[in-house]
Amino acid sequence: MQKDLQMTQKTSPKQVTAASACFLVSVWIVAIASIPSASSYREQLDAGKAPKDIVTLTNSLSIITLIASIGALFMTSRWLFELYDAQVAAKPGSIRLSRRWIIWSWIVPVVSLWFPKLIIDDMLKDKEKSGHVATEQKEKSPLNETRTWWSCFVLYSLMSNLKTVWVLLPTAGEVPIHPEIELASACILTASYTVWVRIVNRLG
């Protein structure tokens, strides 16, 4: 019975990709909402409203993205903890970073730019050596996929941080909401997500 309970608690790749998809959808919702929000911001600004008092649809919907990102982080970290424990138990030292970095690597500044990729790379290398990757998947280099996935994700994150700075520290008389940047970042995250799904399915 205990074994059955553990099996039911195991995080599946579908749960991970579903949580990531929810985050992606929330980003697209905010990106699309930024189009009318930019016009609304300009109208309120021209009406003499102080920037700190201006409320737009984008501001209101941003909470959805925050909640979805936390959910995706939780599900991904839980899944990676399980993979980490299984791999290290079978092959100690096969992952360069310690277990605590599974979650902290996404949060701590600077190292968050490459630590998550290091963990995924080590897990994929072990899968390749163990022969657990399907023949058709081996035709594509998993490390090339992680480079594409991570490059897109880091670019999205940098753009997201830049957008936050614009909103928190707006230039006088300027609209800090840029629909073209919002839509571009959503497209970049979509590219990252597409590759991420393949990586998750590789690791199982």
Per-residue confidence (pLDDT) for residue 2, from 0 to 100:
34
Residues present in the chain in total: 204
What is the token pair recorded at 55?
Answer: 């409320």
| Model pLDDT, residue 10 | 86
Convert the pLDDT of each residue in 91-141 to its tens digit: 998 899 999 999 999 999 999 999 999 999 999 987 776 655 544 454 456
Residue 31 to residue 53: CA distance in whole angstroms = 21
Read off the pLDDT band of 4 (50, 70, 90). very low
Question: Quick one: tokens of 155?
Answer: 């670019």
In angstroms, rounded to a whole number, what is the distance separating the alpha carbons of residues 60 and 45? 18
Q: What is the pLDDT of residue 6?
A: 39
Which of 46, 79, 118 shows the shortest CA–CA distance to 201?
Answer: 79
Q: What mean pLDDT do residues 76-101 have? A: 93
**Is the separation of the CB atoms in 202 and 127 below 8 Å?**
yes
Q: Identify the pLDDT of residue 140.
A: 56
Q: Kindly report the backbone phi and psi dihedral angles of residue 177, in degrees, each rounded to the nearest multiple of 5, phi listed first.
A: -100, 120
Residue range 148-183, pLDDT digits in tens: 999 999 999 999 999 888 888 888 888 999 999 999
d(CA 21, CA 40): 29
